Structure 1
Amino acid sequence: MLLVVSPAKNLDFESPLATETFTQPTMLEHSQELIDVCKTLTPADISSLMSVSDKIAGLNAARFGEWHTPFSPDNARQAVLAFNGDVYTGLDAATFSEKDFDFAQQHMRILSGLYGLLKPLDLMQAYRLEMGTKLANERGNNLYQFWGELITDAMNKALAEQGDKVLVNLASNEYFKSVKKKSLDAERVITPQFKDWKNSQYKMISFFAKKARGLMARFIIQHQLTEAEQLKGFDVAGYSYNEELSKGDDFVFTRREEA
């Protein structure tokens, strides 16, 4: 079973590392192509392209300018410990044991607009380049065209290593669109959904749903789950499997109030 998550806009390159183990990203040659394009952008270009403030645009212009290989622990950080958004709050990889990291390295992947597909312990340098960015490049007008089949091919390789070809999609729609479903060699794609009770009905509330995706990823890793049906045992933060709302491989988890 392979699980996939989105990256995060917020980054943490300061906190103590929970492990010294690291690996190298496998798509850095493609990342370099994107960086070469990004280095030609002015802060004003970045602000317009990404719809960000002048301050954030300036920060990212500096990041693009400083980006360089080779990656080492002195200039980069493991991806799962660098991303710091809602999903990663739920995942809380800073408290993982070495056994957890080992399992995650085999069974988890992180989609990225700059790095394509990352293993949790792959080193990365700071960046901001969301998958939906319409960055013109030699392969097309956006990052979906740039990555083409590359991410899907890498995903298929990871799925083949699992032995069961079951994919648990814990990524956002923006990022999972980078995976070409027609080329994906998965027998099942399970998409967990997390809904909270509000105004007399169950609704997906973005902040809670993002954190719950991280909690689900942590649940899979710490319990070393390998079978799809085991996901239905997820009972963290007040969520539980809702058989009535679930349909096929769309597993719905609900809760009445935040735990």
Structure 2
Amino acid sequence: MKTIILIPPSEGKADGGNNKPLKSVSSITASLLDAIKEADPKKLYGLKEKALEKAISANEEVLSSKTMPAIERYTGVVYDAIDYQTLKHKSDFDKKVLIISGLFGLVRPADLIPNYRLKIDKLKAAKLWLDSNSKQLRETFVIDLLPQAQKKAVKYDSGIEVEFVLKKAGKKMPAGHQGKHIKGRFVRWLIENDITDPKHFKNFKEEGYEWTGETFLKEV
């Protein structure tokens, strides 16, 4: 059974691109672009001034702006930790990893995408993508590293949810922002070591996290 690693996109994205604009988009993407035009920008983006103007402009130019591979477009903490350019097994990463985008659904690392701005919990995007995304995950084993918002956009029959949890004074709490970096490191480790079976997760021991058989736990 093929293994797929699901990761979230990042809000931070690189500008520009060296590849041609998209020739076409899916019907779901097209409907979301229409909905974006009708939405209140301040409510949709939750941004102000220059950041708001940039988000509006990016979405207005989705069909005309230059593109770049998704793995280069996304620039957040998870992606910095993956450090794709230094991976020894880039082809394995490209085959196994899928990114859940609010605007484009399941995106492969090499897929060419423009700059855009749309969280998956806006405009019912997760619900719109659910069937399409889930069909693509049939007959696969999923290693799920998604936050709650992205989890609503997928269903799969076989897989495991991987969480990074902190334990302080006997109380457990999500790793939160700190967890983004370790997720990226974990994805890199999975690819570089060709890990597809959760029984081997116990061998990942970075930043003080230990696999309990159900989750990665760190005492703080």
Give the TM interval when normalised to the shorter protein: 0.7 to 0.9
Alignment of 1:206-245 (within 5 A): 206-242=176-212
Cα shift at 1:148: 4.0
**In structure 1, how many angstroms separate the alpha carbons of the residues matched to 2:197 and 2:72?**
26
Please report how far the alpha carbon of residue 68 of structure 1 lies from its aligned counterpart in structure 2 after TM superposition: 1.4
Q: Is 1:37 the counterpart of 2:19 in the alignment? A: no
Q: How does 1:91-240 map to 2 (within 5 A)?
A: 91-97=82-88, 100-133=89-122, 135=123, 142-156=124-138, 160=139, 165-179=140-154, 181=155, 184=156, 186-187=157-158, 189-240=159-210
Deviations 1:101-129 (A, max 9, x none): 21012111100100100111111111110
The residue type equivalent to 2:129 in the other structure is W
Instruction: Tell me, yes or no, if the aligned pair for 2:127 and 2:152 is still in contact at 8 Å.
Output: no
The answer to whether the 8 A contact 2:167-2:218 is kept is: yes
Deviations 1:124-154 (A, max 9, x none): 1111101101x2xxxxxx2133224111112
Letter of the structure 2 residue corresponding to residue 255 of structure 1:
K
Give the 3 Å change call, closer, same or farther, for CA 89–66 of structure 1 in structure 2: same
RMSD value over aligned CA atoms? Answer: 2.7
Answer yes or no: is the 8 Å Cα contact 1:12–1:82 preserved in 2. Answer: yes
Distance in 1 (alpha carbons) for counterparts of 2:63 and 2:187: 31
TM-score by length of 2: 0.86
Gaps of 5+ in 1: 136-141
Q: 1:2 aligns with which of 1, 4, 18?
A: 4
Paired with 1:55 and 1:35, the residues of 2 have a C-alpha distance of 21
Residue 252 of structure 1 is matched in structure 2 by 215
Structure 2 contact 165–215 (Cα < 8 Å) conserved: yes
Distance 1:92 1:65, change over 3 A: same
SS in 2 for 1:149: helix
Query: Taking structure 1 as the reference length, what is the TM-score of the superposition?
Result: 0.74
Assess, with a 3 A threshold, how the Cα gap between structure 1 residues 239 and 221 changes in structure 2: closer, same or farther: same
Counterpart residue number, 1:61: 56
Could you tell me the percent identity over the aligned residues?
A: 21
Q: Structure 1 residue 25: deviation in Å?
A: 11
Q: CA deviation at 1:90?
A: 2.1
Shift of the 25–168 alpha-carbon distance from structure 1 to 2, 3 Å rule, reads: farther
Shift of 1:67: 1.4
1:2-24 CA-partner distances (Å, limit 9, x unpaired): 11011110112479x9xx9xxx9
Alignment of 1:13-28 (within 5 A): 13=15, 28=26
Give the C-alpha shift of residue 27 in structure 1.
5.9
Aligned residue identity for 2:215: V
Given residue 77 of structure 1, which amino acid in structure 2 is its aligned partner? M
